[in-house]
Structure 1
Amino acid sequence: MRTSREQVAANRENIVASAGRQFRRRGFDGVTIADVMKAAGLTHGGFYGYFDSKEALEAVVCARGTADSVAAVDAAAADGTGDGGADAAPALERFVRDYVSAAHRDMPEDGCTVGALARDAGRSPVEIQRAFASGVTGMAEALTRLRNLDTAEPEQGSAPDFAALSTMIGALTLARAVAEADPALSETILRTAREHIT
């Protein structure tokens, strides 16, 4: 029985989404094609009907994930004018509070691809690094837009905020690295990073 084009597209999306969650949780090397296909509810042998290799899937996941990370910062900026309600904190502060948090630390599969897979990207082929370069630049630019919402006189043409982005991702990475061994240190890393940025 032939699979319809719509079903092929839906299966491919399911594979990408399943792989993204698993890669963010366990890294590229910690996930096999069999793991991805099982999570997607498909057979292992069917993988090559959708992707030429695991690296090709990794590249698609990274491109999609980094674009989603940029979109999340832009969404925070779009919501950043606020309504003066219960959470009237500045837009950047609200975003950083959510990003550099214990919840994000503990659930990388539901979080930012850039924060979860930066280490893996550094060891990956150039096409994956290109996706990360685009995502890193986009996130830094979006953070600048977010910061400018909180400024009475925003700077025109402000440089991408790589310092804030580096602090956020570095804090998340370090907090994850020590979370089980030293929970108090992990919390301190997150808290001091939030304070430093905002």
Structure 2
Amino acid sequence: MTANRESIVVSAGQQFRKRGFDDVTIADVMKAAGLTHGGFYGYFGSKDALEVAICERGVADSVAAVAAHGTGDKGADTTPLLRFVRDYVSAEHRDTPEDGCTVGALARDASRSPAEIQRIFASGITGMAESLAHLRQLDSPDEEQSSAPDFATLCTMIGALTLARAVVDADPTLSDTILETARAHIASSASA
């Protein structure tokens, strides 16, 4: 029973990140999980309950992904912050939302969701911004830096990813330019 629930959560998370809450049905989720539609209610009371579970898991994973960059190879060719930004604000992340950040993929959906989901997102956004501030401190341990959450970098990253996804099919060059410009802007602010 636990394996089936996990399969539903993983499948739904991928589909929600790729298509949004409204464009995914319970039947879609259950089919992708290899389970029957009727079995859904043995695991979740409603689609809303599934959305909450997906957000809790996905937002926690997004926060953990930022924090994990602070424990990587200290001798690498770039800083922990810039390594994370390079991975996050990338064509690969843009093109595979189903495998990426829940906060970046579902922020628009969260804005129209009940307060419970917005609270999950608020916690995750704050956690990601705090982790970004920590990465920024790791970049310059000898300099005095604010420990305040780094919302500016987070907004730049998520905004760039969102805009790049919005135009990629119509204007791939513009989409790539948006990503490159955001990475360059964050790099210049990190070295300032």
1:131 counterpart letter in structure 2: I
Tell me, in whole angstroms, the C-alpha distance in 2 between the residues paired with 1:63 and 1:197: 28
Tell me, in whole angstroms, the C-alpha distance in 2 between the residues paired with 1:154 and 1:42: 54
Tell me, in whole angstroms, the C-alpha distance in 1 between the residues paired with 2:144 and 2:158: 25
**The one of 84, 87, 92 aligned to 1:98:** 87
**The one of 112, 123, 130 aligned to 2:101:** 112
TM-superposed CA distance for 1:156, in Å, is 6.5
Post-superposition Cα deviations, 1:16-54, rounded to whole Å, max 9, x if no partner, equal 010000000000011000000001111000101110110
Aligned position for 1:62? 55
Query: What TM-score do the two structures reach when normalised by structure 1?
Result: 0.92
Tell me, in whole angstroms, the C-alpha distance in 1 between the residues paired with 2:130 and 2:50: 27
**The one of 142, 147, 153 aligned to 2:136:** 147
TM-superposed CA distance for 1:152, in Å, is 3.4
Aligned position for 2:190? none
Task: Report the identity percentage.
Answer: 73
CA 1:49–1:155 in 2, change beyond 3 Å: closer, same or farther?
farther
2:177 counterpart letter in structure 1: T
Tell me, in whole angstroms, the C-alpha distance in 2 between the residues paired with 1:90 and 1:140: 17
TM-superposed CA distance for 1:155, in Å, is 3.9
- Confirm or deny that 1:192 pairs with 2:185: no
Q: Show the 5 A alignment for 1:46-85.
A: 46-79=39-72, 82=74, 84=75
**The one of 45, 56, 68 aligned to 2:38:** 45
Tell me, in whole angstroms, the C-alpha distance in 2 between the residues paired with 1:66 and 1:154: 31
Aligned position for 1:161? 150
TM-superposed CA distance for 1:153, in Å, is 2.1
| Structure 2 segments unaligned to the other structure (5+ residues) | 188-192
Q: Secondary structure at the match of 1:51?
A: coil
How well do the aligned residues superpose, as a CA RMSD in angstroms? 1.1
| Structure 1 segments unaligned to the other structure (5+ residues) | 1-7
Query: What TM-score do the two structures reach when normalised by structure 2?
Result: 0.94
Contact 2:137 2:145 in 1 (8 A): no
Number of positions where the alignment pairs a residue of Structure 1 with one of Structure 2: 187
Q: Secondary structure at the match of 2:142?
A: coil
Post-superposition Cα deviations, 1:101-124, rounded to whole Å, max 9, x if no partner, equal 000000000000000000000000
